[in-house]
């Protein structure tokens, strides 16, 4: 997948339906991306690299597109895919996945949670997949976290909306930089009235 020669918004849309695989050394977890958010670097008041902020914690954001930026927020591990050439510091947060198969180990990793609650949030799916912050700085497909753009799915429809949990950031609070698979029940904060059977949200 091209993480450099397209806009970050285009990449965030195109990641919907891409298959993610993670090998924790004991087993492989897999799922399809259903929710992303784009973060646009030094101009984006919600980005960790706003105004050119460059601390040891965000070093991975300044690497080439296709690098993993992993960070912890409120005890939750969040996974971002860096976009654009090195030094640009833009990226896409992977907010939610539809599991390929729900396993007993995933339920254990989530302390007994089951169903859509296993992976319908940015800290939920990383816990279900037993990920650690050691992923920070790896390139996709060169370590234990891989994406498969051939065995992928394609959304029937994509919804654009403001990002989650971005208060008091002026115009950046309201910009439609969140992309979701319309109706997919694994999208975070999805109202039950808007949920469809997961299989109906993908093109056949």
DSSP 153-183: --BS-EEEEPPTT--S-THHHHS--EEEETT
Cα separation of 184 and 5, whole Å? 29
List residues bridging with 139 in a β-sheet. 67
Token pair in block for residue 105: 């180990």
The percent of residues above 90 in pLDDT, for the chain, comes to: 98
* Domain annotation for the chain: domains and CATH numbers: 8-201 (3.10.300.10)
Condensed to tens digits (0 to 9), the pLDDT of residues 17-48 reads 999 999 999 999 999 999 999 999 999 999 99
pLDDT of residue 178: 98
Condensed to tens digits (0 to 9), the pLDDT of residues 52-88 reads 999 999 999 999 999 999 999 889 999 999 999 999 9
pLDDT of residue 129: 98
Average pLDDT on 132-144 reads 97
User: In terms of Cα–Cα distance, which of 104, 97, 60, 65 is closest to 82?
Assistant: 65
Neighbours of 3 (CB within 10 A): 23
pLDDT band at residue 10 using 50, 70 and 90 as cut-offs: very high
pLDDT of residue 145: 98
pLDDT band at residue 8 using 50, 70 and 90 as cut-offs: very high
pLDDT averaged over the chain? 97
List residues bridging with 144 in a β-sheet. none
Helix (H, G, I), strand (E, B) or coil at 201: helix
pLDDT of residue 124: 98
Burial class from Cβ neighbours inside 10 Å (0-12, 13-18, 19+) for residue 165 reads: exposed
Token pair in block for residue 79: 């996974």
Average pLDDT on 91-101 reads 98
Condensed to tens digits (0 to 9), the pLDDT of residues 150-165 reads 999 999 999 999 999 9
């Amino acid at each position: 997948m091209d993480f450099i020669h397209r806009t970050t918004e285009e990449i965030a849309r195109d990641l919907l339906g891409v298959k993610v695989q993670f090998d924790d050394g004991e087993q492989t977890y897999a799922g399809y991306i259903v929710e992303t958010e784009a973060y646009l670097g030094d101009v984006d008041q919600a980005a960790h690299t706003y105004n050119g902020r460059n601390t040891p914690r965000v070093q991975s954001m300044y690497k080439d597109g296709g690098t993993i930026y992993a960070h912890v927020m409120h005890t939750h591990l969040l996974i971002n895919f860096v976009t654009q050439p090195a030094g640009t510091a833009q990226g896409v947060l992977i907010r939610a996945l539809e599991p390929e198969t729900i396993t007993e180990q995933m339920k254990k990793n989530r302390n007994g949670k089951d169903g859509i609650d296993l992976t319908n949030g940015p800290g939920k799916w990383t816990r279900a997949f037993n990920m650690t912050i050691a992923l920070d700085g790896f390139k996709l497909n060169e370590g234990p976290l891989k994406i498969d753009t051939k065995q992928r799915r394609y959304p029937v429809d994509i919804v654009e909306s403001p990002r989650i949990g971005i208060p008091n950031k002026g115009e950046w609070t309201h910009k439609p930089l969140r992309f979701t698979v319309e109706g997919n029940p694994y999208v975070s904060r999805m109202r039950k009235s808007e949920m469809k059977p997961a299989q109906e949200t993908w093109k056949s």
